[in-house]
Amino acid sequence: MEVSPRKRRLFSALLPAVLSLATFSTVSAESISSALETGRPAGNHEPGSKAGASKTGGERLDAENEAESGEKGPSGTFEIPGTDAKIKIGGYVKLDLIHDFDAIGSEDRFDTSTIATDGSDRENTRAHAKQSRLNLELLRPTRRGDLQIFAEGDFFGSGDSVRLRHAYGSLGPLLAGQTWSTFTDEDVKPPTLDFESPRSYISLRQALIRWTRPLSDRTYVALALEEPDAEFLLPAGVSGTSEDPYPDLTGRLRWRLDAGHLQLSTFVGVARFRPDNGKEADETIWGVNVSGSAQLVGRDRFRFQLAYGDGLARYRGGPAAVVDSSGRPEAVATTALMISYQHFWNDHLHSHVMYSYGENDTIGSVEAAHAFDYAALNLVWEFAEGTSAGVEWLYGTREDNDGSSGEANRLQVAVKFELF
């Protein structure tokens, strides 16, 4: 497979940052096994706290974007009378005021796969509070450690209805339910005001069962069986159904550093297509994801992610494979990279700048998106305890396989009120 000049330039720009991060910090002595003993498998941080950063200062408005599997900001804790159990309640109300200067199909989030490539022109203003959410956590001791049950919903369901985000339980090294995939590194999600985040960020919540084991006081490994859900692109004249014969197998290896972390994650699965006329065929899909973060000067934080795989787009809501004219599936090779930097001007004001790029290798005659750019720059101000306001500029491009392209600019203003 020939690597495009643009992809080579992007890899060359990111590689020094990855190497610098690997040598930036010495490994901390914080024990992951102690996290297991408290009933929270490594890789799922304690709800109500944010991984790797203080909850004070100007982080509140975009805190959910950093690590969403329970890290929703301060929450109230209440003891249940007559029991040894505790309940934590968390959540927030968030208003987004959005103005699009160009044609884009997704009005609530900046999804670059919906940027118009037909030359159409459109301007639109939209306000919504769909990102508002409520979460509930139960903690109680057992003879095998602390049992944790966590559930959360927002309002991105159909017609502004409640949508399930997280619903899982964990005890010691075992976690089962719906939460972030093991293939995802939720701690490098860029802190944008935009809910979508870049298409090249590996982002998927799904049902899974996961086992986590510490390898040392600074590393752990996690393995999981996860819900399979591969989608196919079909050429004209071909019809059939997709099948998911086996669960996806996912895994991650994580190193904790004094000022951040490094993570290597992977997945493998099988996508099956059954044509209306003909015999079913299987295609193996897989992906590798290298990611990490580092706290640099003061509270400033650098994040990165570099991922590649055949069928990788399945972990970002995209197609895993295309079907040829004979009805046989072929996995789509996808490259995804992201870098971001967050700067704190003072305890109550911070900015974030980021860029990401995603590319699908040419997939025959099927008309589909080939490449995406996503860039964001914001300024967030915490003007009272638990209350934040911010403004963000977003820019994206989309290029299709047939050579058509489009771009979009968006201005977004947000106000957020935390429950506790």
pLDDT tens string 269-305: 999 999 988 889 999 999 999 999 999 999 999 999 9
User: Who wins on pLDDT, 32 or 341?
Assistant: 341
For the chain, the straight-line distance linking the first and the last C-alpha, in angstroms and rounded, comes to 52
Using DSSP's 3-state secondary structure scheme, residue 372 falls into strand
* Tokens at 144, concatenated: 């095998």
* Residue 403 CB partners (closer than 8 Å, separation 6+): none
Tokens 């049992």, located at residue: 147
Paired strand residues for 336:
307, 358
* Tokens at 151, concatenated: 């559930």
Q: How much is the pTM? A: 0.82
Residue 58 and residue 348 in contact, taking contact as beta carbons nearer than 8 Å: yes
User: What is the third-level CATH fold of 5-29+92-131+173-418?
Assistant: Porin (2.40.160)
- Burial of 163 from C-beta contacts in 10 A (0-12 / 13-18 / 19+): middle
**CB neighbourhood size of 172 (10 A):** 18
Rounded to whole angstroms, the maximal C-alpha distance in the chain is: 67
Domain boundaries, the chain: 5-29+92-131+173-418
pLDDT tens string 9-60: 444 544 444 444 444 433 333 333 343 333 334 334 433 333 333 333 333 3
Tokens 């796969």, located at residue: 113
Instruction: Indicate whether 412 pLDDT > 70.
Output: yes
**Across 384-403, average pLDDT:** 94
Quick one: how far is CA 167 from the chain centroid? 17
pLDDT band at 381 (very low <50, low <70, confident <90, very high): very high
Using DSSP's 3-state secondary structure scheme, residue 24 falls into helix
Task: State residue 341's pLDDT score.
Answer: 98
pLDDT tens string 65-76: 433 433 333 457
* Tokens at 385, concatenated: 């305890």
